[in-house]
Each structure stands twice: as C-alpha cells, then as structure tokens.
C-alpha cells in the first residue's frame, strides 16, 4: 500500500519536473534580464521561436541523436537571443516602453506570428518528432529508492537546467560581473559612475535571457511533446515571468516555484489518467493560471512585500544626462 | 559618435511624419522577411489589397474584421492611456460573448431593439465583472495587472470551452442531431440579430457604428471631463495625482471596469452581429484581444486614431483569413503586425529626440549643440497634455 502511494508521489514529482523544466530555463533567463533593469514580456514569443527552431533542426538534421539534440537546443537559443535583440534595441537604444515592446515581441513571434509562419512554411505541423530527450541513468543510481528516479534518471536537458540554476546563483552572488549586474538593475547611475557600461550589461543580459527562453521552448518540442502545434507553450512564458516575481528574483527559489507550477500543470493529467473524471478537464487546464494569480496576490499582499527583491530600476530606460 | 539629444519642443508635423516613415520602413522590412522566406513581397502585398479592399465584397469583410478590433483596441487604449496595462481584452471579450449570448437566449421573446440593448448590457456587465477581478487586485493589493489580466484570458477560454464542450449548460445546443456529435452553442433567435446598414454594396455592421460612437465618446471623456483629466494626471505622475487628492484606487478599479466593459461589447457584437452563437473555437482562434493591443499601441492610445489603426489591422486580419494557404501562412498576420508595431514604437524616439552626429575626437561635454533658451522648457511638457 505505501509502496503504491510512494510510486504515485514519485510519478507526480517526475511530471512536475518535466513540465517545470521550460519554466526553469525561461524564468532564469527573465531573471537575468530583469536584474539588469529590463522587463521583457516577450518570453512567450521567444519560447515559441525556440520551440519551432529546435523542432525544425530535429526534423531536418541527420546524425547521432545526441548531436542533433545539442544542435537543436543551440539553434533554439540563438533564435531566442535574436528575438531578444529586437527588444533590446527597441527599449535600450531607442528607449521605447518596455511593456509595449515586450507585448509586441510576443505577438510578433507568438502563436499567430513568426513561429507559426516558420512552421507552416516548412510544413512542420503534424510531423512526428524524430529525436527526443530520454532519461539517462546517471552514475547507474536510478534504482535508489525515491531519490534514484528523481535525481539520477532525468534527461540531459533537465540536468542542464540544474546546472543553469547553480551557475546563476554563483554568477549573481559570487562574481564581480554578477555584482555589477545587480548594481545596474538597482542604480544604473551609480553603476555608470563606477565605470560599468550600463548599455552593454543590459544588452548582454537581455540576450542571455532570450537564449535561455529559447532553450526552454526547445524542451517543449524535444521532450514534453513529440510534435509541433502553433502556440504550444500555452502561456508558459507568462507563468515564467510571474515566477520571477514570486521567487523574489532569486534563482534558487525560482527552481522550487517552477516545479510547483510544473505540478499544477501535470496534476490534472495524472488524476485523469487514474480515472478521476468527476472534475471537468477545463478546471485542470485553468489551474496553473489560477494558481499563478493566487501566488502573485500572496506575494503582493504579504506584509514583507515592500519591493522585496525588485530591482529598483526595473522598467526604466537609462539615459545618461548630458548638459 | 551618434547621440540622441532631447528636443525642446516637438514640431507638429513630426507627429505625423515619423509614424508615416515608420510604416514605410515596416513595409520594407516585412518585404525583406517575405523575400527571405521565398515569398514574392509585391504579389503578397497586392493580394492583401485585393482580399481586403478591391475584390467584390472584400471591403465589407474588412469592416467585419475591424469591428471587434476597434472594441478591443479602444479597451486597451483607455487603460494604457493611464498606464494600466490591461492585456486581458481577449478574456473580457470572451466573457462579453458569454454574457450577451446568455441574455440573448434568455430574453428571446423581447422585441428586437430591446433585445439588442439587453445583449449589449449583458456583454458590458460580463466584461466589466471579469476585468474588475484584476482591477481590484491591482487597486487594493497592488498585484501586477499585466500578469493577472493575461492569466484570466486562459481561464476565460476554459470557462467558454466548459460551457459548450463539457457540460449541459444553458449555452449549449442539446437538441439538434448534429449537436449530439459535434458540441455547439444554441443559435440565437432572429430578433437577436443586430441590424446592418447597407450603403451601395458595402455592408456596415451595427457594432462598427457603435464602436465609432464609443471612440468619439471616449475621446471626449479623456479630453474634456474631470475623469479624463485625472486619468492623464495619474498617467504622467501617480504621486502628483495622490497629493492632488485623486482617489487613485477607485480610478484604477473603475477604469479597469470600463476597459473590460468595452471589450465585453466586442464579444456581444461578435454574437449579435456575426456568429449568433457562442463559438469558443472561433473566438479563440481569432485572437481579437491581442490584436487589439497592436491597434491601441499603433494609435498611441488615442481613441480617434484607434478607428484608423483598427481599419489597417482589420485589413491584415481579413487578408489573413481570406488568403490562408501556402502563399499566405496564418502566422504572417502576427509577423506583420509585430514588424509594424516595432517600427512605429522604435521610431517614436525621433519625435522626442534629435539625432546628432559628432566626431569622436571632438569630446566636448559642455553645452548641447542646440542652445536651449530657458523659456522653452514649459513648452516641452505640453505634448503630454499637462501637469503644470
């Protein structure tokens, strides 16, 4: 009896990690951009571009599976970064409103935009994926009770997401560049006076954010699903943005939050697969979005909220005053 | 070295010339994208014009496409004008459609004009209520409205699907034979069909006329009423607004409700003018709420300009429907909307700043090239419509 319950628990955690992984990549990416003071609401669009380009590569490239998957993820990252470059140019160099530019990016690249255009032009819809990420039995430890499957039986892209989170923590809090990055997001004037190139830092981290969002999108077409559907990220990019807020701009909390939301996404599938049909499927589809609202409200309503963690210069273009 | 230096005052012609130039650039950029993906830009543009204006009946179809966009565009424009980022027009429109269809079905025995009024009221109330959730959260708990409005779009879509596909709701047709195989909404009675104006061979939907009237009303409200004045003050400086005694929270909540109500009429108009049934798939695929954001941003949140920009986006959307196929992939609509908006958005800097080119060795950091007379300072703020 307890054995069965443990199995259910493990399978819920496994699917939570699966659905949480795109959120980890995209969330860390957005966290970098926001730490530099640039809000990028184009995450959904960048993820879809990553997803479509990764699928495109996995369809058309021949070679050993690991190489195809590696190239697919790299191409997805480049696609995400190129999208982010548009946002960076429009908001940093041309000083346009970050909110409107980010929304534009999501419309430009999104479900009825460039990602769908590329998919249709290359007839990607309806094709079955040729290469998928598969679990790796790391160190041969997958049969350890409980932690075995969770920690040692994941795919390469999941391990990569853990490396990204660890690297982000070290980068932000233990390196000089990370310190500079935080200062650019808190007080660009002071950073500029210290000789930090604010514009360069912002460009670099918006691009990095785009690349990670692209990688997050690739998880959708290379592991979660096995085909391409227009708009298949279904709001994951927006959940990633919310995740940055209620993890207080901290990568470690973001990882936990991403898995929690992975669980909200997958719990409906799990329960329906187990024959629980008394609750309509639309409720389960809506659950991650409802819980995102609940989490945002909880963060904004809590007494410790007073701008906890928000980069002070978030959303504000930096203009060096010259007289 | 290229630098931007702030303009002391903005010549009026620039406010027209810059967006026009941006549109020209956008047409060229989109042409390059088309050529790069081996589509002929000229034939594509030609077919857009044909499918949305010159072919018989095409112009009327463009008016059909622009009607919901004008509602969602106005909804976004009024909220964005106060920097209240309601991107939930999509969900508010769904709710408006649910509300209007429900009222239309329930009061089917009312005479036509009364029934139409009732449907509009139903749409407005449903949209208002739905938008009031993020509105109240923002006003009283300071919860980010961008994310909550967006999340509620997905929730609203699920509500709509539940009503038609997964329950025996009042909206669902449970009688006809085809409905037993393919779930669909109940069709409204003929009395619930909104009248259309026939001018020559052009059909003008009632919703479009209503939206134009609404645009004028909102324009007047923003320009000439106390409410609109307070909106503009809060847009430019929330602090000034608060110290000036404006009830900020009420304003946020009420404006959000107004914005949602307008999007809700868009949903009512979809049911009353065009579909006569609650059609979740059709509404979701159309994405009127998101295109409305493009419409509002292109219009720089000016309700009168929304009438114009919704026409152009309507052309594009209509061409997208009419031309679907290998020569005109569905995604081209959003791609072109995005290019257009990026160009207009990026170009705005040329109205606020002038581009100056300085030789790198001339490292003079004193005195800006245009010597600013101190009197001009007051003028610079007038373009914002002023707090002084």
pLDDT tens digits, A34-44: 999 999 999 99
Q: Do A297 and B348 touch (CB under 8 A)?
A: no
Q: Among partner residues B37, B167, B342, which is closest to A108 by beta-carbon distance?
A: B342
**B369 in reach of chain A (CB within 8 A):** no
Residue in B closest to A105 by C-alpha: B338
What's the whole-number mean pLDDT along residues A85-93? Answer: 95
Separation of first and last alpha carbons in chain B: 35
Highest-confidence segment of A265-279, A301-315, B362-376: A265-279
The CA distance from B50 to B47, in Å, is 5
pLDDT at B385: 35
Residue in A closest to B148 by C-alpha: A293
The per-residue DSSP string of A112-128 comes to TSHHHHHHHHTT-TTPP
Q: Do B349 and A94 touch (CB under 8 A)?
A: yes
- Provide the shortest C-alpha distance from residue B271 to chain A (in Å): 23
Contact A241, A47 (CB under 8 A): no
Burial of A225 (0-12, 13-18, 19+ CB in 10 A): middle
Domain ranges of chain A: 10-301
What's the whole-number mean pLDDT along residues A234-263? Answer: 92
pLDDT at B259: 97
Q: Among partner residues A112, A121, A300, which is closest to B334 by beta-carbon distance?
A: A112
Q: Do A107 and B158 touch (CB under 8 A)?
A: no
What's the whole-number mean pLDDT along residues A283-309? Answer: 80
What's the whole-number mean pLDDT along residues A227-255? Answer: 92
Question: How do B353-357 and B2-6 pair as beta strands?
Answer: antiparallel
SS3 assignment, position B76: helix
Q: What is the mean pLDDT of each run of 10 residues along chain B (388 residues)?
A: 76 85 95 92 92 90 96 97 94 97 92 92 97 95 91 96 90 83 87 90 94 97 92 87 87 96 97 93 90 94 95 92 84 93 91 75 48 40 35
The CA distance from A46 to A237, in Å, is 8
Q: At what angle do helices A156-174 and A176-186 cross, to 10 degrees?
A: 80
Is the confidence at residue A305, as pLDDT, over 70? no
Contact A43, A240 (CB under 8 A): yes
* CA dihedral sign, ordered B242, B246, B248, B252: negative
pLDDT at B360: 60
Return contacts of A277-285, CB within 8 angstroms, 24+ apart. Answer: A280/B162, A280/B166, A280/B167, A281/B166, A282/B158, A282/B159, A282/B161, A282/B162, A282/B166, A283/B158, A283/B162, A285/B154, A285/B158
**B154 in reach of chain A (CB within 8 A):** yes
What's the whole-number mean pLDDT along residues A165-169? Answer: 96
- Provide the shortest C-alpha distance from residue B35 to chain A (in Å): 13
Name the strand (E) or helix (H) holding B205: strand B202-205
pLDDT at B205: 96
Chain B positions touching A94 (Cβ under 8 A) are 345-349
Burial of B365 (0-12, 13-18, 19+ CB in 10 A): exposed
pLDDT tens digits, A52-61: 999 999 998 8
Residue partners of A299: CB distance under 8 A and separation at least 6 = A245, A246, A248, A305
Unique residue bearing structure tokens 């990252």: A77
The per-residue DSSP string of B83-138 comes to T-----HHHHHHHHHHHHHHHHHHTTTS-HHHHHHHHHHHHHHHHHHHHHHHHHHH
- Mutating which of A45, A277, A282, A315 best tests the B interface, going by the most B Cβ atoms within 10 A? A282
pLDDT at A306: 56
**B355 in reach of chain A (CB within 8 A):** no
Per this entry, what is the length of chain B? 388
- Mutating which of A115, A289, A301, A305 best tests the B interface, going by the most B Cβ atoms within 10 A? A289
Q: What angle (nearest 5°) sits at the alpha carbon of residue A86, between those of residues A81 and A89?
A: 115
Contact A245, A314 (CB under 8 A): no
Query: Which has the closest alpha carbon to B303: B15, B76, B22, B17?
Result: B76
Per this entry, what is the length of chain A? 323
- Provide the shortest C-alpha distance from residue B25 to chain A (in Å): 15
Domain A10-301 has CATH 1.10.287: no
C-alpha R_g of chain A = 20
Is the confidence at residue A178, as pLDDT, over 60? yes
- Provide the shortest C-alpha distance from residue B48 to chain A (in Å): 16
pLDDT at B378: 36
Q: Count the Cβ atoms, other than its own, within 10 Å of residue A35.
A: 26
- Provide the shortest C-alpha distance from residue B195 to chain A (in Å): 31
More confident residue, A275 or A198: A198
Please give the model's pTM, rounded to 2 decimal places: 0.89
Domain ranges of chain B: 66-302
Q: Count the Cβ atoms, other than its own, within 10 Å of residue B314.
A: 25
The CA distance from A86 to B19, in Å, is 19
More confident residue, A10 or B261: B261
Chain A positions touching B342 (Cβ under 8 A) are 86, 90, 101, 104, 108
């Amino acid at each position: 009896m307890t054995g069965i319950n443990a199995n259910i628990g493990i399978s819920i955690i496994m699917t939570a990690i699966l659905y949480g992984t795109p959120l980890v990549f995209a969330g860390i990416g957005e966290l970098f951009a926001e730490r530099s003071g640039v809000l990028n609401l184009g995450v959904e669009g960048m993820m879809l571009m990553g997803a479509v380009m990764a699928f495109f590569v996995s369809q058309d490239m021949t070679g050993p599976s690991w190489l195809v998957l590696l190239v697919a993820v790299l191409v997805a990252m480049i696609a995400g970064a190129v999208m982010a470059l548009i946002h960076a140019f429009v908001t940093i160099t041309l000083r346009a409103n970050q909110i409107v530019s980010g929304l534009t990016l999501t419309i430009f690249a999104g479900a009825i935009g460039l990602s769908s255009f590329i998919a249709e032009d290359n007839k990607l819809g309806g094709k079955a994926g040729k290469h998928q990420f598969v679990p790796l039995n790391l160190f041969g430890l997958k049969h350890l009770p409980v932690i075995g499957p969770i920690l040692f039986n994941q795919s390469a892209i999941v391990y990569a997401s853990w490396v990204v989170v660890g690297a982000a923590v070290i980068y932000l809090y233990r390196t000089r560049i990370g310190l500079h990055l935080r200062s650019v997001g808190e007080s660009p004037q002071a950073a500029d006076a210290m000789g930090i190139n604010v514009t360069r830092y912002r460009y670099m981290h918006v691009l990095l954010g785009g690349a990670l969002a692209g990688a997050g999108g690739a998880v959708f077409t290379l592991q979660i699903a096995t085909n391409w559907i227009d708009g298949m990220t279904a709001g994951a990019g927006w959940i990633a943005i919310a995740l940055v807020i209620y993890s207080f701009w901290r990568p470690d909390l973001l990882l936990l939050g991403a898995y929690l939301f992975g669980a909200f996404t997958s719990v409906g599938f799990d329960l329906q697969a187990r024959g629980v049909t008394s609750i309509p499927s639309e409720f389960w589809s809506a659950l991650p979005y409802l819980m995102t609202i609940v989490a945002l409200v909880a963060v904004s309503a809590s007494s410790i909220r007073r701008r906890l963690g928000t980069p002070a210069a978030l959303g504000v273009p930096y203009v060096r005053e010259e007289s | 070295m290229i630098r931007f230096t702030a303009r002391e005052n903005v010549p009026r012609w620039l406010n027209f010339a810059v967006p026009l130039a941006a549109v020209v650039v956008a047409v060229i950029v989109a042409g390059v994208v088309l050529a790069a993906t081996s589509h002929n830009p000229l034939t594509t543009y030609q077919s857009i014009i044909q499918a949305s204006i010159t072919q018989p009946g095409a112009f009327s179809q463009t008016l059909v496409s622009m009607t919901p966009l004008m509602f969602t565009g106005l909804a976004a424009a009024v909220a964005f004008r106060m920097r209240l980022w309601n991107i939930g027009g999509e969900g508010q429109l769904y709710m408006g459609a649910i509300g209007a269809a429900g009222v239309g079905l329930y009061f089917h025995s009312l005479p036509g004009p009364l029934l139409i009024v009732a449907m509009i009221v139903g749409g407005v109330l449903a949209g208002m209520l739905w938008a009031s959730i993020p509105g109240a959260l923002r006003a009283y708990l300071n919860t980010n409205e961008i994310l909550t409005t967006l999340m509620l779009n997905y929730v609203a879509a699920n509500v709509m699907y539940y009503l038609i596909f997964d329950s025996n709701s009042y909206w669902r047709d449970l009688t006809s034979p085809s409905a037993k195989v393919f779930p669909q909404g109940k069709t409204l009675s003929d009395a619930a069909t909104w009248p259309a104006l026939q001018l020559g061979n052009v059909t003008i939907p009632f919703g479009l006329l209503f939206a134009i009237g609404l645009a004028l009303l909102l324009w007047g409200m923003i320009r000439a009423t106390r409410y609109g004045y307070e909106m503009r003050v809060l847009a430019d400086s929330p602090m000034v607004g608060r110290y000036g005694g404006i009830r900020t929270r009420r304003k946020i909540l009420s404006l959000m409700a107004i914005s949602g109500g307008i999007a809700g009429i868009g949903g009512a108009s979809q049911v009353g003018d065009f579909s006569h049934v609650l059609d979740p798939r059709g509404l979701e695929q159309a994405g009127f709420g998101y295109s409305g954001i493009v419409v509002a941003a292109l219009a720089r949140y000016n309700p009168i300009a929304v009438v114009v920009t919704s026409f152009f986006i309507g052309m594009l959307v209509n061409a997208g429907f009419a031309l679907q196929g290998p020569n005109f992939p569905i995604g081209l609509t959003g791609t072109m909307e995005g290019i257009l908006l990026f160009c207009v958005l990026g170009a705005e800097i040329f109205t606020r700043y002038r581009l100056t080119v300085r030789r790198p060795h001339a490292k003079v950091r004193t005195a800006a090239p245009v010597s600013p007379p101190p009197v001009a300072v007051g003028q610079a703020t007038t373009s914002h419509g002023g707090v002084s």
